[in-house]
């Protein structure tokens, strides 16, 4: 045998390749004749779910590697917390509607929620500031460490991607297909803007490169990610990283952690997983202290 016989097969499509037209016959029109990887109907069969899961895992992984994303800081929080200027306009509009039609409980409730959201909009500013602080140490020998990573949507996610964009740094967005589709926010690096069908695979990409987890106030989605990450660290399935909760007042009311301890459901030391902060500077200080960023091990993963 000559060495030529051991050459690998050519790729499915090479650059500049022109395909010869196929004769139109009943056989060539049949779905069975389509190339498997170009047959969407075939790929969407229930039997092919394992293949689709693998593709969703592999595509972002390869592109993150190509973009030099070595590690990330994952940021979670409500999609509903707006920029403070927008929050102010909404609160003013809700107050005006309430005053124009006094005595309507639904308008009173809407105005109260708008004022609460205006107060919560400070977290938008803190997420944006934190992203700028973290992203300022991103570039290391051609690789990017501590790259901001979000769910790619509005609210807190937008703020974190925006803070990275403010200083010209990369950031990642992991969007997901939902019944009410959301466009990616305008601040995600286009080459690092991904779209998922499977929550499970998206969760892997949230955590596998994370050197810190930052949780701002949020709803069911934020709580879902919070409890999953806490469980993984508690059970040793994930190495400890800074686990930062913005807003002690919110988290102490949203989740009664002490009740879990008092009832024997978790150990007292499990509460040491979390660090409460109120400002971007405090959050960054906690991340920097954990990773000894002034030391030589800045780019090394936790052991």
Q: What is the pLDDT of residues 173-227, one digit of tens each?
A: 999 998 876 789 999 999 999 999 999 999 999 999 999 999 999 999 999 999 9
The per-residue pLDDT for 22 is 82
* Cα 165 off chain centre by: 16
Question: The tokens of 270 are what?
Answer: 């499990």
Residue 39: Cβ within 10 Å count: 15
The per-residue pLDDT for 295 is 40
The per-residue pLDDT for 140 is 59
Among candidate residues 65, 87, 221, 197, the one with its CA nearest the CA of residue 142: 65
Instruction: Choose which CATH entry (3.10.105.10, 1.20.1250.20, 3.40.50.450, 3.30.70.20) describes domain 68-82+122-291.
Output: 3.40.50.450
The per-residue pLDDT for 300 is 39
CA distances from 3 to 8, 9, 11 (A): 11, 13, 19
The per-residue pLDDT for 134 is 95
The residue ranges of every structural domain in the chain are: 68-82+122-291, 84-118
Question: The tokens of 34 are what?
Answer: 């389509």
Cβ–Cβ under 8 Å, residues 152 and 193 = yes
How would residue 284 be classed by pLDDT, with cut points 50, 70 and 90?
very high
Q: What is the pLDDT of residues 96-151, one digit of tens each?
A: 888 888 888 898 889 899 999 999 999 999 999 999 999 988 765 667 899 999 99
Q: What is the largest CA-CA distance in the chain?
A: 91
Cβ–Cβ under 8 Å, residues 205 and 72 = no
pLDDT at 33 over 80: yes
The per-residue pLDDT for 104 is 87
Average pLDDT value for residue range 7-35:
77
What is the C-alpha separation between 106 and 124, in angstroms, rounded?
27
Q: Say what the pTM is.
A: 0.88
């Amino acid at each position: 045998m000559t060495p030529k016989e051991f050459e690998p097969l050519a790729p499915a499509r090479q650059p500049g390749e022109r395909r010869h037209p196929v004769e139109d016959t009943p056989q060539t029109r049949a779905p069975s004749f389509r190339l498997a990887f170009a047959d969407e109907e075939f790929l969407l069969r229930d039997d092919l779910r394992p293949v689709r899961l693998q593709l969703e895992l592999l595509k972002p992984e390869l592109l993150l590697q190509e973009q030099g994303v070595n590690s990330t800081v994952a940021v979670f929080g409500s999609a509903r917390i707006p920029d403070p200027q927008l929050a102010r306009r909404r609160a003013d509009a809700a107050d005006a509607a309430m005053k124009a039609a006094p005595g309507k409980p639904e308008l009173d409730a809407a105005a109260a929620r708008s004022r609460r959201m205006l107060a919560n909009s400070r977290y938008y500013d803190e997420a944006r500031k934190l992203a700028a602080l973290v992203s300022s140490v991103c570039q290391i020998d051609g690789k990017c460490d501590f790259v901001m990573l979000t769910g790619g949507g509005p609210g807190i996610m937008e703020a974190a991607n925006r803070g990275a964009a403010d200083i010209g740094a990369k950031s990642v967005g992991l969007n997901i297909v939902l019944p009410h589709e959301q466009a990616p926010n305008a601040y995600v690096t286009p080459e690092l803007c991904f779209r998922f069908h499977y929550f499970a695979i998206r969760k892997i990409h949230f955590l596998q490169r994370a050197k810190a987890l930052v949780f701002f106030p949020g709803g069911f989605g934020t709580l879902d990610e919070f409890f999953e990450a806490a469980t993984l660290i508690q059970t040793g399935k994930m190495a400890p990283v800074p686990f930062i909760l913005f807003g002690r007042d919110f988290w102490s009311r949203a989740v009664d952690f002490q009740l879990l301890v008092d009832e024997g459901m978790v150990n007292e030391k499990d509460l040491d997983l979390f660090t409460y902060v109120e400002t971007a500077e405090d959050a960054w200080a906690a991340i920097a202290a954990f990773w000894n960023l002034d030391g030589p091990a800045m780019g090394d993963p936790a052991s």
